[in-house]
Structure 1
């Protein structure tokens, strides 16, 4: 894929626009294979910030208000397999150990990223709006905590299929974990407009039955939405 921003082909990080959404795709693997050096992490981090600066300019966000990130290894999870996302200081979230360099949670929060989509864990897990392990549900609708959430919305859609089988969950989920499903399935996203996006999780184990559904509603986007 050609990335117009970095002007590189077959890049591991790139962005593109679809309707009212600016999608950002990046490599979480850089953080786990530092035997190749830190340079790849720094280059990607700088690219991410520059891309977010451009995407969140008022004139650009007026056209494409939604900013959605996608990567492999999640910042948050409650699986019982000793993966990094179960730890309080996960590398993607907080950055490289000891120096805490190039952590992405603060960066994404700073620029008002709306939704963060992850995989790697062979399950489906939806989080409440979360930042720094604290829940920040929306306050304008008692029936929908995703109505004007005060932090990014994370979910893991890693149950599309793998010969390694489905992952187990820890017995007691942390407060930021909203829904946990252990079966094979996939997620559908329906973009309505500048304010509404529907997400639906379907179980292939159960013949396509809907096992989870939620709607993110945002009357405003950007870091001011957290206020």
Structure 2
């Protein structure tokens, strides 16, 4: 739904967030996640790792304590034969971090923590728009 690495993060991501006319993307997910207070949305597909703060309608409060919207995580670097995708776009303000452990087979970096943060949600429930 949100990413910043390449063209998949433009119109195709918008269709997943907001919906469109394509049969398999008729309904968007963003309002549904917000309505039911989903704390995290974790997805793959992009062959890289990116964590965004709480995001709703492309805006963020950059909060890690009681975030008022869903935190988005792309973790699609599980070691497929396609290699990792480079980031072609600048990092947007919504980009954050959490703990991500490197899984490449290179002994020099395998198992190294490449990212970490704590998110705290004291009052779970629907988010208000």
Q: State TM-score, norm by structure 2.
A: 0.83
Instruction: Name the structure 1 match of 2:116.
Output: 213
Contact 2:79–2:103, Cα closer than 8 Å, also in 1: no
Contact 1:159–1:166, Cα closer than 8 Å, also in 2: yes
- Equivalent pairs counted in the alignment come to 123
Could you tell me how far 1:107 is from its partner in structure 2?
1.0
Q: Which runs of 5+ in 1 are unaligned?
A: 1-74, 138-144, 180-198
Alpha-carbon distance in structure 2 between the residues aligned to 1:223 and 1:159 = 31
Could you tell me how far 1:130 is from its partner in structure 2?
0.5
Contact 2:101–2:115, Cα closer than 8 Å, also in 1: yes
Based on CA coordinates, which of the two structures has the bigger radius of gyration? 1
Alpha-carbon distance in structure 1 between the residues aligned to 2:11 and 2:118 = 28
**Higher relative contact order (CA closer than 8 Å, sequence separation 6+):** 2
1:153-172 to structure 2, matched below 5 A, reads 153-172=71-90
1:203 pairs with 2:102:
yes
RMSD (Å) for aligned C-alpha atoms = 2.2
Contact 2:2–2:13, Cα closer than 8 Å, also in 1: no
**In proportion to residue count, which structure has more helix?**
1
Instruction: Name the structure 1 match of 2:91.
Output: 173
Alpha-carbon distance in structure 2 between the residues aligned to 1:147 and 1:209 = 26
Alpha-carbon distance in structure 1 between the residues aligned to 2:19 and 2:89 = 27
Is the partner of 1:214 in helix, strand or coil? coil
Alpha-carbon distance in structure 2 between the residues aligned to 1:115 and 1:160 = 19
**In proportion to residue count, which structure has more strand?**
1
Q: Which runs of 5+ in 2 are unaligned?
A: none
Q: State TM-score, norm by structure 1.
A: 0.49
